[in-house]
Amino acid sequence: MKTRILIIEDERTALHALSLLLEDEGYGILKAERGEDGLRLALQQEPDLILLDIRLPDVDGITVLQRLRAGYSDAAVIVMTAETTSANAIRATQYGAFDYVSKPINDEHLLLLIRRALEYRALEKTVRQFRQTPPNPSIRGIIGHSPAMQEVYKLIGRVANSNATVLITGESGTGKELVANAIYEFSSRCHGPFVKVNCAAIPENLLEAELFGHEKGAFTNALSRRVGRFEQATGGTLFLDEIADLVPSLQPKLLRAIQERTIERLGGNTPISVDVRLVAATARDLAECVARGQFREDLFYRLNVVTISLPALRDRREDIPLLVQRFLARSERPVDIRPDALDRIMRHSWPGNVRELENTITRAIVLAPGGLITPDCIQLSGRAPSRPEASPHLSHREGFWNVIRRVEERLLRDALEETRGNKAEAARILGIQRRLLYEKLNEFGIG
């Protein structure tokens, strides 16, 4: 269906010229020479965009614009004016016009404005769809109206109803799992299962059976057949988080599952068809992992069909007040925040992104005297000062390996304390793979 543009212009020569220009560009055209006629057409025909002359014989353009919005028209509006410095044109933008152009109109400039206005309208519809979605914790978790997040919403809308594999990238704490959930919720597969696997959290010797399942007797303690996550996700979406940590031995098997849409259970040799939409996520640079020989290039290209890159919180600071407001609203008691406390939050770099901000606000709510968050309540992350107890006395008489274990445990606890429990960031600080971090945490019983 053609994009339709309504032209409300009382000068017939200008109306005719604009009609020819836009028809040549492939737009469907509606025309009106009077404001009242334009209003009727706008509300009956629901055009995508309106070119509105500011001076009309029966009613001025500002009034038309106000009545359009009162009549719930969501068409993008570009105001046309013969006055270079028109106060009315500026007022028009305040009443919801996308922009205004001065006469005589430059065709190239007008066409560019129209394209931008239509793109912006599409973005608004996407955001509105998110706002109007029935309550769902994962969808509600995506918060922000910044240009960077609008691009994310636009991409989610474009890819949701396809079966294309999606790779979500972004720093730890930016909301990759929330975006994966949103893709699932808005897809045609939303009535099927959504199955998540964290490739870094499952020990290497268990991950293959977790993904692909196993037959009875495939290994010690395999007392019965087990269906893996691929089969569990059939008809729905499989989300592979921390995909960069997938061990090399399993990468060929995942590649085959994507290419052939079949798997084999561990200990079996019968191909099993799986109908799965795959979404993967990583906080690491997957292309760099390929360059280092840590990740298969052919698998990288299979995963990197559509990429959604999530911005770091420091790159969308205008969303921080909205995020703070949402986190405060979750409090069981009324809580407000002082402007100087919010200013302290705005100036922080947030290396842990939204997750760090949420933890900081949750802590501030607990510390807030009388339900008012002050700057003293905002405890921001940073390298903790050295403390005597951080370096316990070690004696060679304890034995070499016992000393090593104590040092390892101290390093793990310090890294987790510094990063407020952010395991991905702790692994980065320690210079180890996340898989090794998880293994060490299990070994020492650290939650």
pLDDT average, residue stretch 288-306:
93
The two tokens of residue 189 are 């597969």
The tally of CA atoms less than 13 A away on the side-chain side of residue 274 is 32
Q: Using 50, 70 and 90 to split pLDDT, how confident is the model at 432? A: confident
Beta carbons of 62 and 52 less than 8 angstroms apart: no
Better pLDDT: 85 or 167 = 167
Q: Is the pLDDT of residue 105 over 80?
A: yes
CA dihedral 278, 196, 236, 227 (to 10 degrees): 100
φ/ψ of 242, rounded to 5, equals: 55, 50
Strand, helix or coil for residue 166: strand
Q: Is the pLDDT of residue 98 over 70?
A: yes
pLDDT digits (tens, 9 = 90+) for 238-273: 999 999 999 999 999 999 999 999 999 888 888 999
pLDDT average, residue stretch 30-53:
93
pLDDT digits (tens, 9 = 90+) for 335-350: 888 888 888 899 899 9
Which of 192, 201, 165 lies closest to 180, judged by CA? 165
Strand, helix or coil for residue 393: coil
The pLDDT value recorded for residue 447 is 66
Q: Using 50, 70 and 90 to split pLDDT, how confident is the model at 142? A: confident
Number of H helices, E strands in the chain: 19, 14
Percent of the chain past pLDDT 70, that is, above it, reads 87
- The structural domains of the chain, ordered by start, are 4-126 (3.40.50.2300), 141-309 (3.40.50.300), 313-377 (1.10.8.60), 388-444 (1.10.10)
Average pLDDT score, the chain: 84
| Poorest-pLDDT segment among 49-63, 126-140, 382-396, 414-428 | 382-396
